[in-house]
A and B are shown apart, each in its own frame.
Chain A
């Protein structure tokens, strides 16, 4: 075809000087007919090319659709989910009594999540944790099942779950992946007063609405607090961890929350236990926990505060002076706005637990560095001061280093 296109004008060029300067009508007619044949051939060629191009487009689209469907099926349709988090701590604390010094490194928590979606509306979630790296007889750590429940999505705004789940109390108990909080060690209030991580077995309902209001109601197994010995009336020692746990006296927990303003989170929880020791007539008859917290962030600044208070009834707990146990903390922080990789914080907390060693105030300053969103490096300096002079040997200053991750 290219040859034809070249020959026709060349023929004309060479023909014209040889023949008369003005072609005859027959010659013009022959040229027009030749050009028309060329045009028809070109049209045919164009139509063929357009058809081939459309077919190529269709094939490319089909190939793209197929290749993308492979990646989508992997990302979207996988019914089983795996995740986890972990944190390594180094503590270097100088106590007033050197016997209480601490200079140790510990893989504090190694956690794996396993979840499975049976259907769109029925799913399973679990959390298995190895604490302190080594578990077994005489070993410092434990293997713990911290969550294992089935959740039913009842509607767009209502769900129910049953099994072993984290209680809806405080800031850390349900969300405690290391990149989500400041400080190598978790705050003391949510350890001494709210015994995080705190899980129980039972059933719960959760709801929310489009204004940002949410609520939780859970009926679950309760604490079995000791009423004698060195840990008498210590809340944390009452966790049964759903391990052949006494269930004669259940507990109920309720929470309301509001997150309707971006950056703001406010919530309050109440828990009632008819007998926190699970033993009738031992002087610890009932317990009521009240907790409230607020967190507000604007730009890089955040301010977080939490208050928790236990009220226990019973002659023995009152005689021991452990009938009221309280704690609170306030934590301002600033995350550098330019890249968000560095965050600095300060925290002051005050706890009044059952044991005298759990009655102290603590200052803490430090920073987090997130090289990527899901990995964090931490540093903090802490100073603890006990309220009871007999415990002053436990007062300390020191620093902590940590690395944490989640996926």
Chain B
């Protein structure tokens, strides 16, 4: 027991200082995500303003008020990229969604702060979102398999994917430059 505790204390001491530059649980900065998603370091940006109808739609998807006046997005070469925070159990998870032609091209977890549900940050989970769009009811057009013990984080990811697709649809109807921007 003493050896175990000594080893544990040593590990904690070694890592306690850690890398103070990055937030714990941050795997991808927003800038790196956008550059990878849109193949440009300085993508064009715009916002979707949430009128009453869109706010209600967002609240239906999230199960709570969206807590935003507008949703910022970045775009280039026909793609849009969105970054949202959504709480799984207790802490916000920062997720990025890339959309092209009305379907998800890439889904990434940028920062994961929850104590359970770590699985959703990895590709074996997030690749389930590739190619998903909206069905006629405005919901994801395929099911996302859950992970035992990570149900709340999986739900948060589903909500964000759904929200990004709905906002992308609005953005493309109001911003004609999305298809042509480089």
The complex places the Cα of A263 from the Cα of B148 at a distance, in Å, of: 7
Distance (whole angstroms) from the CB of A206 to the closest CB of chain B: 9
The complex places the Cα of A252 from the Cα of B8 at a distance, in Å, of: 14
**By the criterion CB–CB under 8 Å, are B23 and A120 in contact?**
yes
**By the criterion CB–CB under 8 Å, are B149 and A115 in contact?**
no
The complex places the Cα of A228 from the Cα of B148 at a distance, in Å, of: 39
**By the criterion CB–CB under 8 Å, are A263 and B11 in contact?**
no
Q: Which residues of B contact A153 (CB under 8 A)?
A: 24-25
Q: Which of A64, A151, A171, A297 contacts B115 (CB 8 A)?
A: A151
A208 within 8 A of B: yes
Q: Which of A125, A252, A259, A299 contacts B119 (CB 8 A)?
A: A259
From A83, A113, A260, residue with most partner B Cβ within 10 Å: A260
Q: Which residues of A contact B118 (CB under 8 A)?
A: 208, 214
- Closest residue of A by beta carbon distance from B146: A297
**By the criterion CB–CB under 8 Å, are A205 and B11 in contact?**
yes
**By the criterion CB–CB under 8 Å, are A125 and B147 in contact?**
no
A27 within 8 A of B: no
Q: Which residues of A contact B155 (CB under 8 A)?
A: 373
- Tally of A interface residues using CB under 8 Å: 53
Q: Which of A76, A151, A373 contacts B63 (CB 8 A)?
A: A373
Q: Which of A81, A154, A203 contacts B90 (CB 8 A)?
A: A81
Q: Which residues of B contact A120 (CB under 8 A)?
A: 23-25
A105 within 8 A of B: no
A295 within 8 A of B: yes
B30 within 8 A of A: no
Distance (whole angstroms) from the CB of B22 to the closest CB of chain A: 9
Q: Which residues of A contact B143 (CB under 8 A)?
A: 299, 337
Q: Give me 23 A-to-B residue pairs in the complex whose CB atoms sit less than 8 angstroms apart, sorted by A's number.
A: A64-B47, A64-B70, A68-B67, A72-B67, A75-B67, A75-B92, A76-B85, A120-B24, A152-B12, A158-B15, A160-B11, A171-B148, A175-B148, A175-B149, A203-B8, A208-B118, A214-B118, A252-B4, A259-B119, A262-B128, A263-B147, A372-B63, A373-B155
